[in-house]
Structure 1
Amino acid sequence: MAISSARRVAFDVLRRVAAEDAYAADLLYAEIEPGTKKTDASLATELTLGVLRQQRLLDFLLERYLERRCDQLDLEVLLALRLGLYQLRYLDRVPQHAAIHESVDLVKRARKSSAAGMVNAVLRRAAAQARIGGKELEKLIFQSLASAGTAVEERLGILHSHPTWLVARWLGSFGAKRTAELLEADNRPAPLSCAVLEEEASENIAESLRESGFEVTPGQWLRGALRISGGNPAASEAFRAGQINVQDEASQMVAHLVDAQGSRTILDACAAPGGKTIILARAAGPRGRLIAGDVHEHRLRVIQHQLMRTGTTNVHSVALDARRPLPFSRGFDRVLIDAPCSGTGTLARNPEIRWRLQPEDLNEAHRSQLTMLRNALAAADKSGRVVYSTCSLEPEENEKVVGAALVGAPGWRVTATQAALAPHLREAAAAEKFFADDGFFRTFPPEHGTDGFFAAVLASG
């Protein structure tokens, strides 16, 4: 049996994710060739991201069949087993024989033929129990772990495939109910949203995308957003023509919080890949001048490509390390620091993050982010506005960064800016849903149906 292109792509991407610390979404975009059938592209994506999302539970189950630890296996053998078991457990439409045989063939293709018999035997044993439904299996596992005295955070971590330490943090921060909702949301496919760059053309662009075979619905929150399924919108004519950007609605909202209309000088200090930059540039208009910085040359090239594709001309991209004092002599009207972070608000979209992140990474990120925010405050005009944002759910990267920065910045304060966001929402009153009494902007994946974002709008005077 020849290996299907979907399984081959998924296996190769998973191997590179593990070996190179690469991101699955980027690799899938590169590996899925133009002209690939939508069904094959969809299966490759589901297999790759599904295995990464369910990795811990898959390994827990495999070890029951293997009678040894998964980390004792060669990587290629383990990946083939995970792919096979994922199909047996989660994809009813895939015949069992195809899931088993192609997993065996993947092992042979990876020159691990000596393990082919073991892979075949393990997956056949798993197939015999595949009739146990997902909820029933979860109940059995949870009861088994509970009777063994396993701590609740470890039980949840196994069942929902998250690191135990992260589950424990979230239980302390969000409580049991919200944590359970978050864990479940992280294991569902993330919605794919696009920013429509000419808001008044939204309906025409949506119809054009539908005619090209995409399923399109209005954005959940923003008037200038669309939700798209049934393919990769970056391959659409609307994207090539610079009419849309692939960008989560929460990310778009952060750009709107900057309130760039009428601003003459704007700094986007951590600008790649450039989605927020373009929203800011459009809002500022031809009289506004925007500097888009990033520390990495290859990411600057991504920004430049985005600017060219969308015909955005009022942006100057520069190599810039926001961790160092910013080299500008005059204050900016607006400064955006969308700081590099742990990304815990994007685990549905980037599931590999959960297996790489360590507790100590949060304190290291805090130190870097605090330096960036202090530099941003120093670069802003005293009558201006600074927006600090992350796609993290962790207080070390959010509230604690802002609090520490304000200690050394007299005159600056947090200001709630529902008024800046409201005009862009389908219902202006919905702006209240994103702000708490502390004035911070937050999105929570299971509550808002977006990535998890945090933003603080800081003003002086």
Structure 2
Amino acid sequence: MDVSLARRIAYDILLRVEAEQAYAGELLYARLNDPAARIKSEDAALTTELVLGLLRWQRQLDFLIERQTGRSVGQLDLEVLLALRLGLYQLRFLTRVPSSAAVNESVELVKRARKRSAAALVNAVLRHAPSGPVETLLPATLPAAARLGILHSHTDWMIERWLARFGEAQTLALLEANNRPPRLACAILDESRREQILRELEQKRMQPEPGRWLKSALTLRGGNPAITEAFRRGWISIQDEASQIVPHLLDVRPGQRVLDLCAAPGGKTALLARAAGEAGRVVAGDVHAHRLRAMTATLKRLGAGGVQCIVLDGTSPLPFLAVFDRILVDAPCSGTGTLARNPEIRWRLKLEDLDDLHRRQFALLANALGVLAPGGKLVYSTCSLEAEENEQVVDGVLHNREDVRPVSGLQAIQPHLREGVHAAEFIGQNGVFRTMPGQHGTDGFFAVVMESRR
């Protein structure tokens, strides 16, 4: 029996995610947008659903596999475990997939991976897998965080800290949002082409709708905008709406000198460059040379080829003699605000990782403030929900400093928002910008605007 193309690609990607610690989103993008592969849209959609859906529900799937096999998932060969997860995910979450296809093709995947001796195990586990609510299978004595962890497929330590910080209702909304496919959002970069962009997206059955928050945003309900002429010509970019808002907080003016310290993959850099205009100077740095090379191509496609891209480690003193009017420090972080989009993070991140991230983020912000011009503005942002990476970094760097003060970004972003949307939706009385997946339907972002008082 042949295995369908979608299941073969999904299995191979999941194997690399586990074995190489690769990121599923990057692998999916590279494989599904390869012109030589000519993958049909329906195969691409099923592949994406299988990969990301399985990673979102991995803990619950593993709970059921351990219950059926009587073994820890760590005792199973990776190739066998992935076939079981893939089959079980289809049986429980993809009702349109025939059970026979889910079972039989999972068995064939094991054989294809040269684990024929496990074919009978995979067949038996999947054919006898429970179909009822998982909650009825949980021990009554299970702690609350562990119960929620299995039901909503997150780690206990994440749930424990979110319950303590956000409360039960907001935590449940967050867990549910993290297990839904996120909205596919685009930024319109050439407003004069709006009608042309919409016509093409509609012709390709992507069902474009206005963004929820930004005038310049679109949300799509199907298809792949990366295959469109609008994308290739740089009229649109694929970017979460909260991510699109962050550069607007800087309020960049034409002709200003702008530094994007941790710039890759370049979506925010392109927005900064457009705001600075041809008379401005934009410098984009990143510690990884290969990411800068990819970003250079992205910026060229987006009409921001004049950005100066340099390799630098922002945790070390910065090599600039000049100062900048505007600085964005979109710091590398845990990514706990993006768990719907990057579900593998929830299985890789450890609580102790937050201390190391805090130290690096502290250094990035402190060094960036050293090259901020008098009267200039800096935005520190992350896509993390964790205080160690957010408030504690800002408070620690600004402690006993009188030359920099936090300011509100309300007036900066209000002109970019849709009619009827007020910036107070995201910015609290303390001036902090924050989005939550369960509340705003975006990735979870944190940002603070700071102004030099020198």
After superposing the two structures, state which structure 1 stretch, 249-258 or 28-37, moved more.
Answer: 28-37
Pair 159,237 (structure 1): closer, same or farther in 2 beyond 3 Å: same
Matched, 1:115 2:147: no
**Shift of residue 67 of structure 1?**
1.4
Matched, 1:75 2:78: yes
1:313 & 1:363 partners in 2: Cα distance? 37
Q: Percent identity?
A: 56
Deviations 1:369-401 (A, max 9, x none): 000000111110121001000000000000000
Pair 96,339 (structure 1): closer, same or farther in 2 beyond 3 Å: same
Asked whether the 8 Å contact 1:393–1:452 carries over to 2, the reply is yes
State the AA in 2 paired with 1:25.
G
Asked whether the 8 Å contact 1:216–1:227 carries over to 2, the reply is yes
Matched, 1:158 2:150: yes
SS of match in other structure, 2:128 = helix
Aligned to 1:18: 18
Asked whether the 8 Å contact 1:202–1:224 carries over to 2, the reply is no
Matched, 1:344 2:336: yes
SS of match in other structure, 1:381 = strand
RMSD: 1.2
SS of match in other structure, 2:159 = helix
Aligned to 1:355: 347
Aligned to 1:329: 321
Asked whether the 8 Å contact 2:255–2:278 carries over to 1, the reply is no
1:229 & 1:240 partners in 2: Cα distance? 20
Asked whether the 8 Å contact 1:263–1:334 carries over to 2, the reply is no
Aligned to 2:7: 7
Asked whether the 8 Å contact 2:357–2:389 carries over to 1, the reply is yes
**Shift of residue 203 of structure 1?**
3.3
State the AA in 2 paired with 1:70.
V
Structure 1 segment 41-440 matched on structure 2, within 5 A:
41-126=44-129, 129-130=130-131, 132=132, 137-141=133-137, 144-145=138-139, 147=140, 149-427=141-419, 429-440=421-432
Deviations 1:308-363 (A, max 9, x none): 11222431111111111111112210000000000000000000000000001001
1:271 & 1:408 partners in 2: Cα distance? 29
After superposing the two structures, state which structure 1 stretch, 177-186 or 259-268, moved more.
Answer: 259-268
Which has more helix, going by share of residues? 1
1:307 & 1:119 partners in 2: Cα distance? 47
Deviations 1:137-190 (A, max 9, x none): 04424xx33x2x211011101111101011101001100110011001000001
Asked whether the 8 Å contact 1:199–1:223 carries over to 2, the reply is no
Deviations 1:83-134 (A, max 9, x none): 00000001111111100000000000000000000110111101xx33x3xx
2:191 & 2:417 partners in 1: Cα distance? 12
Q: Which consecutive residues of structure 1, in runs of 5 or more, have no partner in the other structure?
A: none
State the AA in 2 paired with 1:269.
L
SS of match in other structure, 1:458 = strand
State the AA in 2 paired with 1:173.
R
Aligned to 1:451: 443
SS of match in other structure, 1:215 = coil
Pair 316,104 (structure 1): closer, same or farther in 2 beyond 3 Å: same
The ranges of structure 1 where at least 4 consecutive aligned residues each deviate by more than 6 angstroms after the TM superposition are none
Instruction: Give the TM-score, by structure 1 length.
Output: 0.96
Deviations 1:384-438 (A, max 9, x none): 0010000000000000000011015322111111111011111264211101122
State the AA in 1 paired with 2:450.
L
**Shift of residue 231 of structure 1?**
1.9
SS of match in other structure, 1:58 = helix
Q: Which consecutive residues of structure 2, in runs of 5 or more, have no partner in the other structure?
A: none
Instruction: Give the TM-score, by structure 2 length.
Output: 0.97
After superposing the two structures, state which structure 1 stretch, 356-365 or 427-436, moved more.
Answer: 427-436
State the AA in 2 paired with 1:27.
L
